[in-house]
Structure 1
Amino acid sequence: MANNLINNSIITREALMIRRNTNDYVQNVNREYQAQFARTGAKIGDTINVRLPNDYVVQDGPTVNPEATAERSIPLTISYRKNVPMSFSTQERTMNIDDFSERYIAPAVNALVGQVAMDAMTMALSASNMVLNTDDTGNLIAPSSNTWLRAKAILTACNAPLDDRYAVLDPMTDANTVSGMMGMFNPTGQISRQTVDGQMGSKILGVRGWMQDQTVIISQTGSYDGTGTATGTYGNYTPNGAPVTTISASASPHSSVISTSALSGTLKQGDVITIAGVNRINRVNKSSLHILQQFVVLADVASGATSIPVSPAIIPPSGTGPVPYQTVDAAPAAGAAIKLVAPAGSVIRRNLLYSKRAMTLATVDLEMVDRGVVDCGRASLDGISLRTLTYYNGSDDTRATRLDVLYGFGMLRPDWAVVVPELVE
């Protein structure tokens, strides 16, 4: 009887098929920039700059005042390398592929893709919007249909595309959301899925897909007591934390640093704050929406600190009117109160409603190794590139196999993502 050897190409394809059924969130983020990396291999740290759409201001009358076009971009860096090592005997590698998949490939892929998803989920810490559901006494409670509709309205106000919105929920939030909205929806098929499967269906409340994922971030908000105020000074924020005192075309389009009075209590990365008198605008016509603009804190801030790094960047109008890339209707005034959106010290599940184009993920083909190894396979499915490599260890007469993925991600539009928190009790 002929041997039924399982080569690495079979392992790779089988692993990718299992991955397809493992994580919806990883499948539903933008991938359009992946092709710009070398398909035959890339070095960790390779970066491309993703251009953001240009922003212009409409002028009145027949006379024009030409504006310089200042393009802005966000870096996408391939900086993550993860692997799962496995060791097989010759007998194990000749087993039926179904048993092999169940016993070895499935657990390995689940661990590997779970780590990719967990890394990608950290992008939720850059989401600059938050919508709460509270009871009559202000306590944070599970999201309702109204909560999700208000979150969707914020995406629309931020000019996020209407056709590619997704929600990713912690399993407990998913259960509470389904329980709270069960029976509300038509057509009958959607009600059936909620009742039979016990989870949110697709295309409900204008959301294209609802996903539950155990890698949804659970975090605790800072202890800041809400007594701090702005000093009226702000500038751009760079990754090393150094403030820049002027807004320039070459500066980060996403972040600013706000000078404040000494803060009482801490702020945590991912906390969302507001500044009195600083409102959202319609990003197209630059008119004020008369709703406080929300800002996400980009790094932990210690008690007693006098500055807060935030996103989006604070870009107010000039003295003559609207400006390109404007984000708010006014700069922070001296003495303006700074408030946390979520209650201080709350442990929350950071469920997310987002536009698929808010964030991007890229995986890169690792080199096919043909010397010094027993076998090497590489394949791509749904934009995820995976390589498997088997090598011989003469010291104990075994063959070891490793699954590798090389990837990077970036938050392109923090305002196209909304955190919908639920209190962990």
Structure 2
Amino acid sequence: MAQALTHQMIAREAAAMLVQDNPVVKNINTDRQKEYGEEVNGYKKGDTVRIKVPPVPVVFDGAVFANGGSAPLTQETEVSLTLDTQKHVALTFGAKEKLLELSEFKERFLKPAMNSLSAIVNADLLTRMKNQTPNVVGTWGATPSTRAVYRSAASSLDRFLAPNDNRSLHFSSDANDGLAEANATLFHSKSEIEAEFDKNAVGMFAEFEFYKQQSIPVHTNGAGTGYLVNGASQVGGVLAVDTGTGAIPKGSTIVIAGVNAVNPLTGESTGKPRSFVVTADYAGGAGNVSIAPAIVQNTATQRGNVTALAADNAAITIFGTASSAARQNIGFHRDAFAAAFAPLPVLASCEGYTASIKGISVRVMTFGDGYNDKENTRIDVLYGEKEVRPDHSVRITE
């Protein structure tokens, strides 16, 4: 006689499937248990955890301490990650299904359920990451058909000193097809990399491990055009503008004339414009546009992110074509973003179990419907995501 399935068995299988089969989850940093706890502590939607970001110290010349001035504060900064998303898949099964072998139950019930849940989580994470990534390469409206754009993506991460390992690139089927015969020699199966084939992995190139995705986010530009900076020497995450018309949606990327990016360690100009991403929908006209990263000028005692502050009436260029849409493939280092899948408790009067594998927590919980003589089971995840080093990510537009 088959052994009855337990919530613990189902939860562990569900968590393992989410870790193994979701190409974004397994390539983003989820090792944040110390920040939000490793046990079931009653987390709920809206809770916030804090993540430490190491500082970038400033190097001075000569023997005189800090060149005779005050040394800048060397302390970690923090980003707040809100557990703002709870998603679940609903199942109804009874005693007969519980007596199935685990392998049979997994194929008939659990796998379809987790495929659906994983796909939604995957798409949600990619959209968030797109809206947090300021740097972009490629040509709006043109599917990449050569290797050059992916080398440019790798170079973007290099300029901001992203580590060379643990880089992944998630691109559409059309982008994969756009490389045509180049794929035959460009890519090789993941089995050659780690002796284990992954159905989503296409191969390696330019230090990226490529994953073909069906849920690459699309960004739609607004009609925004002709904007100018309103007032010189602005700093921070809000940019005042005057001349200009049309909306600028969240996730749009901009550059400002005369404002270049800097090497994060040396402070020297990269020779490339500093890109910013718009972090909130902007209706249009004169006003304040929210951007990231916050503008910080590089000085002798402060490691900033721009060579100079914008001049009054400096031109603002919005990447892409106004009032049109384009897919945004994304390449990133594992630590560019952080995700927290917090453990949910099993509620009173319910049966269930919460399993955690590699920082991913999944709750399986069953509750009865005595009025209709049914038993319902839900599989839940509670998670949040936050950019940590967004310059270690890059969008590859189509």
TM-score normalised by the chain length of structure 1: 0.84
Q: Indicate the larger mover: 20-29 or 410-419.
A: 20-29
Tell me which residue corresponds to 1:130.
136
Structure 2 Cα separation of the partners of residues 107 and 200 of structure 1 = 20
Tell me which residue corresponds to 2:228.
229
Q: Structure 1 residues 22 and 305, CA, compared in 2 at 3 Å: closer, same or farther?
A: farther
Tell me which residue corresponds to 2:164.
162
Tell me which residue corresponds to 2:26.
27
Q: Structure 1 residues 124 and 3, CA, compared in 2 at 3 Å: closer, same or farther?
A: same
Q: Given residue 32 of structure 1, which amino acid in structure 2 is its aligned partner?
A: D
Q: Indicate the larger mover: 407-416 or 377-386.
A: 377-386
Residue 73 in 1 paired to residue 75 in 2? Answer: no
Question: In the alignment, is the contact (CA less than 8 A) between 1:132 and 1:143 conserved in 2?
Answer: no
Residue 40 in 1 paired to residue 35 in 2? Answer: no
Q: Given residue 67 of structure 1, which amino acid in structure 2 is its aligned partner?
A: A
Displacement after TM superposition at 1:400 (Å)? 1.1
Displacement after TM superposition at 1:402 (Å)? 1.1
Q: Given residue 372 of structure 1, which amino acid in structure 2 is its aligned partner?
A: S
Residue 141 in 1 paired to residue 143 in 2? Answer: yes
Tell me which residue corresponds to 1:309.
290
Displacement after TM superposition at 1:143 (Å)? 5.2
Question: In the alignment, is the contact (CA less than 8 A) between 1:33 and 1:362 conserved in 2?
Answer: yes
Residue 151 in 1 paired to residue 153 in 2? Answer: yes
Q: Indicate the larger mover: 123-132 or 6-15.
A: 6-15
Secondary structure (helix, strand or coil) at the match of 1:293 reads strand
Structure 2 Cα separation of the partners of residues 186 and 13 of structure 1 = 33
Q: Given residue 52 of structure 2, which amino acid in structure 1 is its aligned partner?
A: R
Tell me which residue corresponds to 1:336.
314
Question: In the alignment, is the contact (CA less than 8 A) between 2:31 and 2:359 conserved in 1?
Answer: no
Displacement after TM superposition at 1:276 (Å)? 0.5
Residue 382 in 1 paired to residue 358 in 2? Answer: yes
Displacement after TM superposition at 1:187 (Å)? 7.3
Residue 215 in 1 paired to residue 196 in 2? Answer: no
Structure 1 Cα separation of the partners of residues 198 and 42 of structure 2 = 42
Displacement after TM superposition at 1:327 (Å)? 0.4
Cα RMSD (Å)? 2.7
Question: In the alignment, is the contact (CA less than 8 A) between 2:223 and 2:322 conserved in 1?
Answer: yes
Q: Given residue 106 of structure 1, which amino acid in structure 2 is its aligned partner?
A: K
Question: In the alignment, is the contact (CA less than 8 A) between 2:72 and 2:301 conserved in 1?
Answer: no
Displacement after TM superposition at 1:186 (Å)? 7.7
Q: Given residue 105 of structure 2, which amino acid in structure 1 is its aligned partner?
A: F
Question: In the alignment, is the contact (CA less than 8 A) between 2:143 and 2:174 conserved in 1?
Answer: no
- Per-residue displacement from partner, 1:341-381 (whole Å, max 9, x unpaired)? 22222311110011111001111222245x523x3122222
Tell me which residue corresponds to 1:296.
277
Question: In the alignment, is the contact (CA less than 8 A) between 2:338 and 2:386 conserved in 1?
Answer: yes
Residue 109 in 1 paired to residue 114 in 2? Answer: yes
Question: In the alignment, is the contact (CA less than 8 A) between 2:222 and 2:248 conserved in 1?
Answer: yes
Secondary structure (helix, strand or coil) at the match of 1:402 reads strand
* Identity within the alignment, %: 26
Tell me which residue corresponds to 1:16.
15
Question: In the alignment, is the contact (CA less than 8 A) between 2:40 and 2:354 conserved in 1?
Answer: no
Question: In the alignment, is the contact (CA less than 8 A) between 1:262 and 1:306 conserved in 2?
Answer: no
Secondary structure (helix, strand or coil) at the match of 1:224 reads coil
Q: Structure 1 residues 189 and 406, CA, compared in 2 at 3 Å: closer, same or farther?
A: closer
Q: Structure 1 residues 143 and 300, CA, compared in 2 at 3 Å: closer, same or farther?
A: farther
Q: Structure 1 residues 198 and 392, CA, compared in 2 at 3 Å: closer, same or farther?
A: closer
Structure 2 Cα separation of the partners of residues 189 and 361 of structure 1 = 25
Structure 1 Cα separation of the partners of residues 36 and 189 of structure 2 = 45
Displacement after TM superposition at 1:125 (Å)? 0.8
- Per-residue displacement from partner, 1:47-83 (whole Å, max 9, x unpaired)? 2322222133322333222324163211122222222
Q: Given residue 216 of structure 1, which amino acid in structure 2 is its aligned partner?
A: I
The aligned length equals: 388
Once superposed, which parts of structure 1, at least 4 consecutive aligned residues long, lie more than 6 Å away? 186-191, 196-200
Structure 1 Cα separation of the partners of residues 199 and 349 of structure 2 = 50
Q: Given residue 162 of structure 1, which amino acid in structure 2 is its aligned partner?
A: N
Q: Given residue 19 of structure 1, which amino acid in structure 2 is its aligned partner?
A: L
Question: In the alignment, is the contact (CA less than 8 A) between 1:296 and 1:310 conserved in 2?
Answer: yes
Residue 408 in 1 paired to residue 389 in 2? Answer: no
Q: Structure 1 residues 301 and 15, CA, compared in 2 at 3 Å: closer, same or farther?
A: same
Q: Indicate the larger mover: 323-332 or 198-207.
A: 198-207
Question: In the alignment, is the contact (CA less than 8 A) between 2:43 and 2:342 conserved in 1?
Answer: no
Question: In the alignment, is the contact (CA less than 8 A) between 1:30 and 1:361 conserved in 2?
Answer: yes
- Per-residue displacement from partner, 1:138-180 (whole Å, max 9, x unpaired)? x633253110111111111111111121101123323323x16
Q: Structure 1 residues 48 and 328, CA, compared in 2 at 3 Å: closer, same or farther?
A: same
Q: Structure 1 residues 188 and 113, CA, compared in 2 at 3 Å: closer, same or farther?
A: closer
Structure 2 Cα separation of the partners of residues 147 and 106 of structure 1 = 36
Q: Indicate the larger mover: 60-69 or 410-419.
A: 60-69
TM-score normalised by the chain length of structure 2: 0.89
Secondary structure (helix, strand or coil) at the match of 1:103 reads helix
Tell me which residue corresponds to 1:282.
263
Secondary structure (helix, strand or coil) at the match of 2:122 reads helix
Structure 2 Cα separation of the partners of residues 332 and 150 of structure 1 = 26
Secondary structure (helix, strand or coil) at the match of 1:201 reads strand
Q: Which runs of 5+ in 1 are unaligned?
A: 238-255
Secondary structure (helix, strand or coil) at the match of 1:149 reads helix
